[in-house]
Chain A
Amino acid sequence: EAGVTQSPTHLIKTRGQQATLRCSPISGHTSVYWYQQALGLGLQFLLWYDEGEERNRGNFPPRFSGRQFPNYSSELNVNALELEDSALYLCASSSGLRRSGNTIYFGEGSWLTVV
């Protein structure tokens, strides 16, 4: 069974541009979570989607946004990129709010470099 998959693996953008990162959850999972890990720093919660709805948002500016599609895959968009947005962006999935035992599983991440 495939795990959480993320694309692209690496992305280089120029300051001011927009970046789009994609995530496919584990089959059957309806919740998707996004985290940011800047170099040498901790894992910061960004966004949580469940069944197409945004459930929770971390302490990030509005230029960080996302969405979840009907097939439960998700996109994270970062607008007006700043140098400090350079980080590993991790997506995770779980079986969602309606199911018990919903352990969260992580993908391998997308490296975003802003130059």
Chain B
Amino acid sequence: DAKTTQPTSMDCAEGRAANLPCNHSTISGNEYVYWYRQIHSQGPQYIIHGLKNNETNEMASLIITEDRKSSTLILPHATLRDTAVYYCIVRVAGDKIIFGKGTRLHILP
């Protein structure tokens, strides 16, 4: 079973920041938080991951709370192409991924 809880769906206006929350209250000390997204019927796309510290790359920022029980993925300027299902995953390095249901993000024009 997936170890994360995410809202089923969210809306965000184009050009605004999209903030996607994820709860992982049972995360272990050696588990990373990973985010992927799946645009309709394509392969999941890796976005970002982190262990304790906040992380930023060209796609997004990942904010992890100090107790590591929750995190937020931030897409700084959402576009219509960001419409997708976003998956938050906790994973020990080297292990497989178990997907949950994810959050369906709708970007509104």
5 inter-chain pairs at a CB distance below 8 angstroms, sorted by A residue, are A42-B99, A45-B98, A48-B96, A56-B96, A109-B41
Measured between C-beta atoms, what is the minimum distance from B101 to chain A in Å? 6
A112 on interface, CB distance cutoff 8 Å? no
Contact A88:B41 (CB < 8 A) given known A42-B100, A103-B49 = yes
Measured between C-beta atoms, what is the minimum distance from A100 to chain B in Å? 6
Closest 9 CB pairs of A and B: A106-B43, A43-B99, A97-B94, A108-B43, A106-B44, A48-B96, A107-B43, A109-B43, A90-B43
**How many of chain B's residues have a CB under 8 angstroms from any CB in A?**
18
* Total CB contacts across the A-B interface at under 8 A: 50
Contact A109:B42 (CB < 8 A) given known A42-B101, A103-B49 = yes
Measured between C-beta atoms, what is the minimum distance from B96 to chain A in Å? 5
Contact A104–B42 (Cβ < 8 Å): no
Measured between C-beta atoms, what is the minimum distance from B59 to chain A in Å? 13
Chain A 14-27 interface 0/1 with B at a Cβ cutoff of 8 Å (1 = within): 00000000000000
B97 on interface, CB distance cutoff 8 Å? yes
Chain A 36-57 interface 0/1 with B at a Cβ cutoff of 8 Å (1 = within): 0000001111001000000110
Chain B 37-52 interface 0/1 with A at a Cβ cutoff of 8 Å (1 = within): 0100111111001000
* A35 / chain B contacts, CB cutoff of 8 Å: 99
* A101 / chain B contacts, CB cutoff of 8 Å: 93
